[in-house]
Structure formats: structure tokens, C-alpha cells
Amino acid sequence: MNKKIDKIDILLRRNTTEQLAGVDFDDLNAAISGRLDKAQQRRTPATKSTKVFKIAKVTAAAAAVFIIVMVSSTEKKGSATVAFINPSDRAQVQVNIADRDSSRGKSTVRIIDSETARKQQDKIRPNWFVISRAEPESTNNGADRDVRDTVCLF
Amino acid sequence: MKEAQKVKISDIERLAEASSRGNRDAFDELVELYQRRAMQVALAILGNVDEAAEAVQAGFVKAYMSIEKLREPGRFEIWLLRIISNTAISQRKAAWRRAESAKVADCRRQEKKTFSPAQKVDAEDLREAVQKAMLRLSKKEAKAITLFGLEDLPQKQAAEIMGCSVQAVRWHVFRARQKLKVLLRKYLE
């Protein structure tokens, strides 16, 4: 496909050609070479530091996962207040204390009367709840038993 | 000085391939082959040798840093000219600001020395007018008229560099010509 040359193209070309005539291409080549040398030097440590950064990132992520697992597997101490209002309703509260150390994860359970519960908890109407904890190794009764002792409060 | 137009396409492909594998010597050869072409493009867009040289240097560095991403070494020229033209385009406004401030400083110096302002040479006058006029074009128009102006660059390749159809390039060239004819009418008479 042929290009249709306009007089404006000729003018632009003339301008470029005139300026191009004054360019020292050896100088330009040397300048580009210098810039490439610097870029090359920058790139090598950058690649190394990128690798180091990647390793650090993976290590940090692994550490974070480990910490999260550790924290989530540790029982938190706390208390639970349970309303005990309408025995015909479904179970709504279950507290699990699964830990080898029975002193950890102790919960204070307070049974409150219906009126107080209505005022305090409005629509929460559990009729029973379960507290279970890990069976201590010292009282391990064998494989035929569940690993947890369960206490049901009614 | 060697030039890309006089080298076989297969040789350029071989050099580009070697460069993408990290061969610096091969890339240096490509620089030598394409620096004139790159300068032509940058100069047409920026209208100033110093600014164009800066764009060419920055463009070659960008190309070198990303040559491993070049999937088709046979299309090195298109890929390179795209980088160079984009670099020049992005540098356009800053270049103009620098040129303007340099001009103001120059005028002040001349006033201080109480010299009468020297008559500008035609070529310099034209250079300044073209630089100003090019800045008035949109990025696409500036790119299109520049690439179109490269004598041995087929329209299809210009379209590939710009990432649009040949028709779109022609449209941008048409629009650019119309604007430039008004802005540079003094030099067309």
C-alpha cells in the first residue's frame, strides 16, 4: 500500500533530517551503552534482593500461619452467661473446653431467672447447653470411650 | 555505522533471541542497528535533539530490561519502536516545559548582555514551530504522523506499532495533517 505524501509530511521530514544530521551517533551509542551498564548493574542486585524478598515473604507467611494455628488451638479463658428460659426451644449454646490442662478454659456459668434473662437477652432462649472438655490422660478409660467427657446441664 | 534496513531479518531475529537470553553483546549490536531509526522517531515526536536522545536512551534501557518478555524475536523492530515512541510521547510535555524555561533563561541572559536578539535561522525557527505544533496533537495523532513519516515503514507496521488498524492510522494521520497545516501554514507557503 503506497503512502500518499503530503507537503506537511515533506516539511516534517525536512525538519527531522536537518536535526538528525547534527546527531553524533557514536556519542549516542556510548551514552546508551553507559545507561545499559548501569541498568545491568541495578538488575543483578535487584534480582538477588527480589529472591531474598520472596524468601522473606514465604517465611513470614509460614510464621503467620503457624501463629494463627497456635493461637486458635489455644483455649481462651472466659465466661459464659446462659439464659435458661423455655424448655421447649432448641439448644442454642454449646461451650467446648477442649484442652489437656483442665485448669485452662474454665468458664463461669450463671443460671439466671427468666425475667432477668428476658431483660438482658431479649430473644435468646436456649433450653439446654453442653460443656465438654478433653479427657485428661490420667483418666483415660480406654479406646471404647469417647475422648471427651461430656457434662450436660438441664 | 550499520543500519537495520541493511541487515537480514533473520540476523535481527537471531540477535533479538540471543538478547532475550541475556546476551549483552547481541543487544549492543541491536542498539547500533536501530539507534538511528529510534532517533528518527523520537526526534519527530519531540522535535529536539537532546530530548530525543534522552528518550532513545531511556527507551533502549526499557527494551533491555524487558527483552526476555519479547515472544517473537522476528518482530523486534515493531516492539522496539513501540517502546521508543511511547517513551517519547510520555516525555513530550516535560520536554516542552524544559525547552520553554531554557528559552526564558536564554532571553534573560541576552537582555542582561544588552545584545540585540539575534535573528533566528530558518531551521531553528522551523524546529521550534514543529515542536510546538506537535505538542498540540493528541498522542495518537503525533505517533501516527511520526510513524507515517518514516520512509520505509509500511503502514501495516505503523498500525502494529500503534496497536490499531491501518484505517485508524490513516484517520489519525489525516487529523494530524489538518491541524499541522493550520499551525505551520507559515512554513508551507
Phi, psi dihedral angles at A141 (to 5 degrees) = -95, 10
Q: Is the per-residue pLDDT at B141 higher than 90?
A: yes
Residue A138's pLDDT is what?
Answer: 52
The predicted-structure confidence for A40-73, as pLDDT tens digits, reads as follows 887 765 555 667 778 888 888 888 888 888 776 6
Q: At what angle do helices B49-66 and A25-73 cross, to 10 degrees?
A: 40
Pairwise CA distance, residues B101 & B118, whole Å: 19
Mean pLDDT over B5-26 rounds to 85
Question: In B, what residues contact A, Cβ < 8 A?
Answer: 1, 24, 27-28, 31-32, 35-36, 39-40, 43-44, 47-49, 52-53, 56-58, 60-61, 64-65, 123, 126-127, 130, 145, 148-149, 151, 154-156, 166, 177, 180-181, 184, 187-188
Tens of pLDDT, residues B115-128? 444 445 577 788 88
For strand A148-153 and strand A129-134, is the pairing parallel, antiparallel, or unpaired?
antiparallel
Q: What is the pLDDT of residue A140?
A: 56
- Per-residue pLDDT, A102: 46
Roughly how many angstroms between the first and final C-alpha of chain B, as a whole number? Answer: 37
Evaluate whether ipTM surpasses 0.95.
no
Interface test with B, best of A36, A40, A42 (most B CBs within 10 A): A36
What's the pLDDT score for residue A82? 52
Top residue of A1, A15, A25, A26 to mutate, by most chain B CBs within 10 Å, is: A15
Contact (Cβ atoms closer than 8 angstroms) between residue B162 and residue A8: no
Quick check: A12 and B145 CB within 8 A?
A: yes
Whether the Cβ atoms of residue B34 and residue B77 lie closer than 8 Å to each other: yes
Tell me, yes or no, if A11 comes closer than 8 A to chain B by beta carbon: yes
CB B71 within 8 A of CB B20: no
Tens digits of per-residue pLDDT, A126-148? Answer: 545 555 555 555 555 555 454 44
Please give the Cα distance from A120 to B188 (Å, whole number): 90
Distances in whole angstroms, Cα of residue A147 to Cα of each of A132, A136, A141, B65, B75: 10, 9, 9, 62, 69
Confidence of residue A149 (pLDDT cuts 50, 70, 90): very low
Q: Are the beta carbons of A20 and B56 separated by less than 8 Å?
A: no
Name the more confident of A130 and B66: B66
The predicted structure's pLDDT at residue A153:
45
Q: Do A23 and B188 touch (CB under 8 A)?
A: no
CB contact under 8 A, B177 and A6: yes
Closest partner residue to B64 among A15, A18, A39, by Cβ?
A: A39
Question: Predicted confidence band at B152 (pLDDT cuts at 50, 70, 90)?
Answer: confident
pLDDT in tens, A90-111: 444 555 554 444 444 455 555 5
Rounded mean pLDDT of A119-129?
A: 55
What mean pLDDT do residues A17-21 have? 89
Check if A22 contacts B (Cβ < 8 Å). Answer: yes
Write out chain A residues lying below 8 Å of B177, CB-based.
Answer: 6, 8-9
Q: Are A148 and A135 in contact (CB under 8 A)?
A: yes
